[in-house]
Amino acid sequence: MSAPTLPSPARRPSSPPGAFVAIYKLLLRNLATRGRIAGIGALGVLTMIAAAVVGNAHLIDPLRSGTRFVDGGLTIFVPVGALVFASAALGDLVDDSTLVYLWLRPLPARVPVLAAFAAAVTICLPLIGVPMVISAVLVDGSPELIAGTAESVGVAVVAYCAVFTMWGIRIRRALPWGLAYILLWEGFVASAGQTASKVALRAYTRSLLSEATGVGLRLATFTAATGLIVPMVVGVLCLVYATRVLRRTDIA
């Protein structure tokens, strides 16, 4: 059964004033549910508790241990948190066929995509970033680790939110598929060697952390510039592709 397409861009020439802000606020309210906040917040609390335990263990090299601890957060906590919120930003509306209500006025497809991305980043940066930075303080507290944590986590949150915003539009029931991607692809396949790591965001954010602290991490072989630029380019491309997909998606 062929799916109807949205009106062509020619019939959606510009965004009405305030449309972005209105959709952003709507999606922000939809995303900030008690269940999601409590679930990811609990992971953040557990991360900080674990950091406190590690920090009080009389470590021989606190900076090295702290860097590896933060790398563990970049491996699971950060991408999973971004997945939970970003994939649901528009994905929930696609899955339950309520996305049509965002199109009661003529809007370019980029408006809901950017609003969804912004809403996910707005929630994820403090909800994920703050516990990670506090964890860095609890484990070591050195300026290098704190700065490296803030930079790598910030880049990771923005990039993963862009990727999973696109997944929410492109893939039905994006959450389980996203978890499979995080655990199987980035966790195993892309960690198998240098070539495979080039297609995993984790390798770039890990490189940022390694460059900041001077502690070597496995497959963290990219320069700081590459570790910053590649995730941002990937994020932009994902949002562009999400806009194209949404323009052609059946929203009825």
More confident of the two residues 96 and 128? 128
**Separation CA 28–CA 224 (nearest Å):** 32
Helix (H), strand (E), coil (C) string for 236-251 = HHHHHHHHHHHHCCCC
Contact 135, 54 (CB under 8 A): no
Q: Where are the beta strands (DSSP E) in the chain?
A: none
- 160: tokens are 């993963």
Residue holding tokens 């009405």? 16
Is 17 buried (19+), middle (13-18) or exposed (0-12) by CB count in 10 A? exposed
The reported pLDDT for the residue numbered 55 is 85
pLDDT at 185: 84
Residues in the chain: 252
Tokens encoding 68? 């590896």
Span of 4-18, 37-51, 138-152, 164-178 with lowest mean pLDDT:
4-18
Residue 182 CA to residue 190 CA, distance in Å, equals 10
What does the pLDDT average to over 39-50?
Answer: 95
Residue 38's pLDDT band (cuts 50, 70, 90) = very high
Distances (CA, A) of 66 to 138, 142, 209, 249: 9, 9, 11, 45
Sequence letter at residue 141: G
Within 10 Å of residue 45's Cβ, how many Cβ atoms?
11
Residue boundaries of the structural domains of the chain: 29-247
- Residue 16: the pLDDT is 58
Cβ atoms of 226 and 234 closer than 8 Å: no
Q: Would you state the pLDDT for residue 2?
A: 42
pLDDT at 1: 42
Contact 73, 147 (CB under 8 A): no
Residue labelled with tokens 């770039």: 204
Query: Mean pLDDT across the stretch 76-86?
Result: 95
Rg (CA), the chain: 19
Q: How far apart are CA 237 and CA 27, in angstroms?
A: 22
pLDDT category at 4 given cuts 50, 70, 90 is very low
On average, the pLDDT of the chain sits at 86
181-197 tens-digit pLDDT:
898 888 777 777 777 77
**How much is the pTM?**
0.88
Cβ count within 10 A of residue 187: 16
What pLDDT, in 10s, does the model give residues 87-104? Answer: 999 887 777 766 666 665
CA distance 48 to 109: 39
What's phi and psi for 57, nearest 5 deg? -95, 15
**pLDDT given at position 6:** 41
State mean pLDDT over 147-164. 96
